[in-house]
Amino acid sequence: MAEIQIKGVAKSFGSYTALHDINLTIQDQEFVVLLGASGCGKTTLLRIVAGLETATTGEVWIGGKRVDHLPPKDRGIAMVFQNYAVFPHLTVFENIGFGLRMKKLPNDEVKRRVERTAGLMHIEQLLGRYSGELSGGQRQRVAVARALAMEPDVILMDEPLSNLDALLRMEMRAELKGVLAESNTTAIYVTHDQVEAMSMADRISVMHQGRIVQAASPIEVYRNPAAEFVAGFIGNPPMNFLPATPQGGGRWAVAGQVLDGPQTPKALKFAIRPEDLRLADHGLQAVAKVIEPLGAHLLVTCDVNGALFRAVLDSDLSVKPGDTLTLAPQSDRIRWFDPETTRAVA
């Protein structure tokens, strides 16, 4: 059992606060992704769990045991670093087997595990090469294989696929997900790639400026973002926003249209995903500005009442800059945010 509990963790570097009161429980065998923009504190939080950084306040528990006073080697974890430190003067085989040798495992067990994890990461043909001779993407896969070979209860991975090309990255993310699910490992995985987060995670923890804004399943984060930041970060392209003025009785004026919404007297923001808009006879009047054919669909960037607005439409649609489109938002997909608190309003 390797549940991870992060309790009230904060971290300051001098006068700068990198993490504010982080509370997160990762269930045994759960795969949690920390997602957020550069500098939001992902690596710092992972290093605190690993024991490579000390929290200013707060506690870390692994498998029901408080570990924040323990050195990294006594926490039962393996970590893949953002800068994937591998030993250049060792072969790929010896790099992957390094931790196993330290644990004094028998040679045939080392060989079995090294070959298995190298195969998973598609680097079995490189086992005899010196790691200093490898490309960045190959070295990164050596680092992942080395962590997997330890068969740890907990694995912490910091952008482990960032140096791979798009195709290999897509293949590796599926493999990694499969391997970790099979091996009953509890995982925290850091990325700023939302597609990777959506596709791999049991739960996504969205971070912003040193805080967790929402921790929920990928579909929940996508459908019901808890805050404007999440709505504007998740999705490609992210949600559209427009100011909404209350008309009374749960009716709202949005860019000249009247829509049903929450019962509250204060002004809100209307939000809709670009893929939840349809061409219709009645709806928002949008002037097309930029048309991007993306193969499977057409991405149209428009102007709605002076606001930037994007719609994902059928790729067969014939539209040119300057055309006016009437876009109807799918009513059950409309979301509302309070501009003061930036939180979602039910």
Ligand X SMILES: Nc1ncnc2c1ncn2[C@@H]1O[C@H](COP(=O)(O)OP(=O)(O)OP(=O)(O)O)[C@@H](O)[C@H]1O
- Which x/- pattern, by CB under 6 A, does the window 225-244 give for ligand X? --------------------
- If one asks whether residue 38 binds ligand X (CB under 6 A), the answer comes out as yes
| Residues 15-34 contacting ligand X, CB under 6 A | 16, 18
CA-CA distance, 92 to 111, in Å (whole number)? Answer: 12
Please work out the total of residues on this chain that contact Mg ion, with binding judged by CB under 5 A.
2
- If one asks whether residue 41 binds ligand X (CB under 6 A), the answer comes out as yes
Please work out the total of residues on this chain that contact ligand X, with binding judged by CB under 6 A.
13
- If one asks whether residue 44 binds Mg ion (CB under 5 A), the answer comes out as no
Strands, DSSP E only, in 121-250? 154-158, 186-191, 203-208, 211-216, 240-248
Taking the least distance from each CB to ligand X, the nearer of 38 and 318 is: 38
Q: How far is the CB of 136 from ligand X (least distance, A)?
A: 16
16: exposed, middle or buried (C-beta count within 10 Å: 0-12, 13-18, 19+)?
Answer: exposed
- Which x/- pattern, by CB under 6 A, does the window 44-73 give for ligand X? x-----------------------------
- If one asks whether residue 43 binds ligand X (CB under 6 A), the answer comes out as yes
Instruction: Single out the segment in contact with ligand X by CB under 6 A; choices: 36-44, 225-233, 243-251, 286-294.
Output: 36-44
CA-CA distance, 126 to 105, in Å (whole number)? Answer: 22
Half-sphere exposure of 332 (CA within 13 A, CB side): 0
Taking the least distance from each CB to ligand X, the nearer of 38 and 125 is: 38
Out of 5, 9, 26, 42, which residue is the one contacting ligand X (CB under 6 A)?
A: 42
CB 146 within 8 A of CB 96: yes
Q: How far is the CB of 257 from ligand X (least distance, A)?
A: 39
- Which x/- pattern, by CB under 5 A, does the window 59-88 give for Mg ion? -----------------------x------
Instruction: Single out the segment in contact with Mg ion by CB under 5 A; choices: 35-43, 92-100, 241-249, 250-258.
Output: 35-43
CA-CA distance, 6 to 265, in Å (whole number)? Answer: 39
Rama region for 306: left / alpha / beta (φ>0; ψ in -120 to 50; rest):
left
Q: How far is the CB of 238 from ligand X (least distance, A)?
A: 18
CB 203 within 8 A of CB 32: yes
- If one asks whether residue 192 binds ligand X (CB under 6 A), the answer comes out as yes
Instruction: Single out the segment in contact with ligand X by CB under 6 A; choices: 10-18, 198-206, 273-281, 313-321.
Output: 10-18
**Cα dist from 41 to 38, 75, 158, 186, whole Å:** 8, 21, 12, 21
Q: Which two tokens stand for residue 192?
A: 């700023």
Taking the least distance from each CB to Mg ion, the nearer of 40 and 126 is: 40
CA 30 to centroid of chain Cα atoms = 15
- If one asks whether residue 83 binds ligand X (CB under 6 A), the answer comes out as no
CA-CA distance, 172 to 280, in Å (whole number)? Answer: 41
Out of 1, 13, 25, 133, which residue is the one contacting ligand X (CB under 6 A)?
A: 13
- If one asks whether residue 43 binds Mg ion (CB under 5 A), the answer comes out as yes
Spatial neighbors of 210 by CB under 8 A, at least 6 apart, are 11, 17, 18, 19, 20, 40, 41
Instruction: Single out the segment in contact with ligand X by CB under 6 A; choices: 13-21, 122-130, 265-273, 317-325.
Output: 13-21
**Cα dist from 75 to 68, 78, 104, 124, whole Å:** 9, 9, 18, 29
User: Which of ligand X, Mg ion, none interacts with 131 (beta carbon under 5 to 8 A by kind)?
Assistant: none
- Footprint of ligand X (CB under 6 A): 13, 16, 18, 36, 38-44, 82, 192
